Amino acid sequence: MKVAVDAMGGDYAPREVVAGGLDAARGDPSLHVVLVGQTDAVEAEIRACGGAPSNLTVHHAADVVDMGDKPVESLKRKPDCSILRTVQLVATRQADSCVAAGSTGAAVAAAMMTLPRLPGVRRPGIAVPIPARNRAGVCLLVDAGANPECRPVHLLQYGVMGSNYYRLMYGEAEPRVALVSIGEEESKGNLLVKESTRLLKRAAVRFSGNAEGKDLFRGNCDVAVADGFVGNIILKTAEGMAEFFFGLLKEILPGDPRPVLGALARRTDYAEFGGAPLLGMDGVVFISHGRSDRRAIANAIRAAARSVSANVRGELTRGLTDEGGE
């Protein structure tokens, strides 16, 4: 099982990415981790961490993509950048899956430029696991930002792919799929939601109706479908609220706040959840938070490997019909 990792992507790259790759490789001899990036820089970090085990290798890429705001242009200017090379290893079957922690826009663009879509899929979507009070402890939010201009058929497809992914990865036979809206009543919401509700009701998923932002954390659904604009805002709002709470708790908690904050972080930290798959491309691409540390990277590598073992690629579009128009 070979997992390629963009060693140059993320706020703490290459140091933390290399360290995470080493942790994952050392912890599981059946894994093979390929660190993709500027060989000199990556090998220096490997040496600083005590050298590479035999199941970790380096694949050279001369460039690093800019964190600027035009991912496609940036990738076209730099064909030898690490994120493109990482995804190409998957496209050419030299790796089974890959992990990227740099710019989400660049990772999505690299995947869309390099990999074919799975048959029938209109647009890929990012599926982010968020903490929830359901059986698996996870609500999967699709799309979290790949597609900010969704049509109803895209939301329908996110529901189907999200349901299949959740079933395979979290062992829930019939995940409850909800559509994010501003009230449970079907009469509420905008035009996109109303039309998408109609499609999801007829889809091959266990559609549990419309859900509000608070229902995600309550565990009232397993998969929450939203357009990429709304999904990204849910994610960033939850992150901002968590940050705000941690700040307040530091002021409020009597004595040393660290034990409580640490326990709280272990239950809410994105680093625990192992990255977010880009659903819909013919190839496994996991996108990790830009602030990923070694633990987050190692968890993302394990999740990427697990999703290959679970045959996500073969099962992801089960039940996807061509219904829903353009």
Residue ranges that bind a second copy, judged by CB under 8 A = 69-70, 105, 131, 133, 145, 148-149, 180, 182-183, 185-191, 193, 212-218, 228-230, 232-245, 247-249, 252-254, 259-260, 263-264, 267-268
Q: HSE, CB side, 13 Å, CA atoms: give it for residue 199.
A: 25
Residue 163, burial from CB neighbour count under 10 angstroms (0-12, 13-18, 19+): buried
Nearer to a second copy, 27 or 183 (CB): 183
**Least distance between a second copy and beta carbon 58 (Å):** 32
Which lies closer to a second copy via its Cβ, residue 96 or residue 227? 227
| Residue 113 backbone phi and psi in degrees, to 5 | -80, -25
- For residue 298, the minimal CB distance to a second copy (Å) is 24
Q: What are phi and psi of 178, to 5 degrees?
A: -120, 155
CA angle, corner 133, sides to 306 and 279, nearest 5? 35
* Nearest in space to 271 (alpha carbons), one of 226, 233, 303: 303
Q: How far is the CB of 191 from a second copy (least distance, A)?
A: 7
Of 53 and 137, which has the nearer Cβ to a second copy?
A: 137
- Please provide the distance, in angstroms rounded to a whole number, between the alpha carbons at the two ends of the chain: 37
In whole angstroms, how large is the CA radius of gyration of the chain? 20
Nearer to a second copy, 291 or 295 (CB): 291
Ramachandran category for residue 315: left, alpha or beta (phi over 0 → left; psi -120 to 50 → alpha): alpha
Residue placing its CB nearer to a second copy in the complex, 240 or 314: 240
Q: Of 74 and 164, which has the nearer Cβ to a second copy? A: 74
CB of 170 to a second copy, least distance (A): 18
User: In a 3-state reduction of DSSP, which class is residue 299?
Assistant: helix
Task: Decide: 16 and 294 in contact? Cβ < 8 Å.
Answer: yes
Residue 218 or 318 having the CB closest to a second copy: 218
Q: Which two tokens stand for residue 303?
A: 């999740």
| Least distance to a second copy, CB of residue 79, Å | 22
**Nearest-approach distance from CB 264 to a second copy, in angstroms:** 6
Residue whose token pair is 């430029």: 113
Of 147, 149, 150, 127, which Cα lies nearest the Cα of 139?
A: 127
Min dist. Cβ of residue 296 to a second copy (A): 18
Continuous segment of H or E residues that includes residue 36: strand 32-37
Q: Which is nearer to a second copy, 48 or 249 (CB)?
A: 249
Pairing of strands 276-279, 284-287: antiparallel
Q: Which helix (H) or strand (E) holds 97?
A: strand 97-100
Minimum Å gap between C-beta 235 and a second copy is 7
